Amino acid sequence: MVLARRPLQIIRAHARPYLWANVLLYGLVLAGFALGLAVPELSAERASTMQEDGTTDLVLRVFSHWWLFAVTILGVNVITVGLFSIVLPSLVLPFAGVAVFAYRAVVIGVTLAPREPATWIALIPHSLTLAIEFQAYVLLVLGAYLLGRGWLTPTYLGAGTRRGGYAQGLRMLGWLGVAALALLAIGAVYEAVTLRYLVPVMLRG
């Protein structure tokens, strides 16, 4: 219960930045989606990049086993997106992770933009995946914001020194990270199961 209660307490205590993080991230991914629809070449370029860097081949290799597919999705989302894009940059430069992921959110939106009718069908169940995973990223971005505020203005978190503000912000980021990890695990299982079993049935229908 503590694992769930503490993140909720942090969110309630910082409801305004949490709300703005939601508006920012969901808005940026939708903006990227609209950009991908308006400029199909961008979406095609993203697909080509994923094929060249081996992402597409990796997905095809693990796709037949939903549990392995889910583990792969979780690993990519946690390490590549959560850790490298949000958490680590924020540890060395205030708010850096917020800026990095803001750009990545647009890129994700462009990548999701459908290039053929079948992709629109896949987006029906995948929209829930997007909502779950981005809520996890919202929590990490909130944590990165609180870390930056504690670092630059320690009194915002009730600390007397920058070191104390950094430590307090880091603890909050850690608690929010636990909740984000749980959401990413749920999203990975849902995404793997729906893409492996539900979407093919929808396409046949």
- 191 found inside a domain: yes
Q: How many CA atoms lie within 13 A of 21 on its CB side?
A: 25
- pLDDT of 205 > 70? The answer is no
10 Å Cβ neighbour count for 199? 18
Structural domain boundaries, residue 65: 2-199
Q: How many domains does the chain have?
A: 1
- 204 found inside a domain: no
- 10 found inside a domain: yes
The rounded percent of the chain whose pLDDT value lies above 70 is 98
pLDDT score recorded for residue 2: 62
- 143 found inside a domain: yes
The distance in angstroms from the start CA to the end CA of the chain is 43
- pLDDT of 53 > 90? The answer is no
- pLDDT of 204 > 90? The answer is no
- 56 found inside a domain: yes
pLDDT score recorded for residue 57: 80
- 205 found inside a domain: no
- 76 found inside a domain: yes
The pTM assigned to this predicted structure is 0.94
